[in-house]
Amino acid sequence: MALKYDLQEVEVWDGNYAASHALRQAQVDVVAAYPITPSTPVVENYGQFVADGYVDGEFVMVESEHAAMSGCVGAAAAGGRVATATSSQGFALMVEVLYQASGMRLPIVLNLVNRALASPLNVRGDHSDMYLGRDAGWIMLDAFNAQEAYDMNLCAFRVGEHMDIRLPVMVNQDGFITSHTAQNVRPLSDEDAYKFVGEYVPVEEMLDFSRPVTYGAQTEEDWHFEHKARQHKALIDARPVIENVFAEFEKVSGRKYNRVESYLTNDAEVIIVALGTTVESARVAAQYLRDNEGIKAGVVAPRVIRPFPFDAIRTALENCKAIGAMDRSAPGGALGMLFNEVSAAVYTISSRPLVTNYIYGLGGRDLTMEQIKDIFRDLKKNVDAGYITTKIQQFIGLRGPKLEFFETRRS
């Protein structure tokens, strides 16, 4: 029986430590992990909890991230509650098994502490790894600070293990900016946290020898399509379930989450759409511009990246006039992911706001408040002109000559 861990009402935790405590409180059966910066402390802290007797579950050290996720798949198929953590190259090495996990409908929780992908080698935060995983069939949640890294982990178990979903869930947080920044965090008590997450209920577990089952079977053109379609349907249909879990979480924590978070958007003319800590920094800039420059600025952020909140983001952006979609990932010869997905969503409403794309913060490059204000000012210019006055894609905070691409075609 695990020892009781004394918690204060307010702790000063970084995002990694917050995630470790959430895993401890969820009474995970198996953590199989291979540490990598900046997610290392999630694994390190959890290992310490195990060594100190605060955890009853198993901690499995493996030889690679591919093995870590494979261990998670095995343990989840056997019938256990399973979690792990990784970043960047480690995540890249896991990718093959990520698709296996979602295809086998195993509710594993993965803490993805976002970091740039090499080359050049870089340990700092951007969203390259998050974007790499977005078609893997996982539910993807995004935390904007350490408190949310804790909260999203608890919600992740509830969402992934829900009988109508049974899918793995990634919890993203910004490498270093969240993972290594200590802030005030209000944890739930161990009892309340476990009560919220609930007892693990296995489905088709391999350790039930009275009912043998197969995982990872082969299907060719006869059934593969049907499997993948069902998986997609489960993801899309997860939307109301996620909303219910967030509503339940509000009851125990007082903290309300939504599939799409909106700040200062009621009368907003110009809106930044972003992910991670940028969402919070942009709120500061939006408030400043409202108070000092009369720019009606707002911020919209997908809390749930997958299933992509096509419906909710459209509603959130319906009444604005210009949108800056900010992508913290090298777009690899295209417009950024948020630009593409947000544009597609708002293309289906008649107001058709002007959407532009900002690439920023690669490899941990600081995004300053002044830069965010300038983006809002750009957007305001677009509103006043009635068309996109800048290039459609701009790089922000880059050394050297301005890098920007594509123009609006006006007849």
Residues that bind other proteins (CB under 8 A): 10-12, 37-38, 123-124, 145, 174, 176-178, 180-184, 277-278, 280-281, 283-284, 364, 366-369
| Of residues 302 and 353, the one with the C-beta less far from other proteins | 302
Closest contact distance (angstroms) between CB of 12 and other proteins is 5
- Among 276, 307, 311, 259, which residue's Cα sits nearest to residue 139? 307
| Of residues 208 and 250, the one with the C-beta less far from other proteins | 250
| Of residues 176 and 376, the one with the C-beta less far from other proteins | 176
Q: How far is CA 311 from the centre of its chain?
A: 18
Contact between 337 and 250 (Cβ < 8 Å): no
| Of residues 105 and 283, the one with the C-beta less far from other proteins | 283
- Among 204, 224, 353, 373, which residue's Cα sits nearest to residue 285? 373
| Of residues 283 and 321, the one with the C-beta less far from other proteins | 283
Is residue 111 within a helix (H) or strand (E), and if so which, with residue range? strand 109-114
The amino acid at 392: I
Closest contact distance (angstroms) between CB of 285 and other proteins is 9
Closest contact distance (angstroms) between CB of 320 and other proteins is 21
| Of residues 124 and 303, the one with the C-beta less far from other proteins | 124
Closest contact distance (angstroms) between CB of 174 and other proteins is 8
The C-alpha atoms of residue 375 and residue 360 are separated, in whole angstroms, by 11
Contact between 99 and 58 (Cβ < 8 Å): no
Closest contact distance (angstroms) between CB of 80 and other proteins is 31
Q: How far is CA 227 from the centre of its chain?
A: 25
The C-alpha atoms of residue 26 and residue 194 are separated, in whole angstroms, by 5
Tokens of 286: 């939006």
Closest contact distance (angstroms) between CB of 245 and other proteins is 24
Helix (H, G, I), strand (E, B) or coil at 104: coil
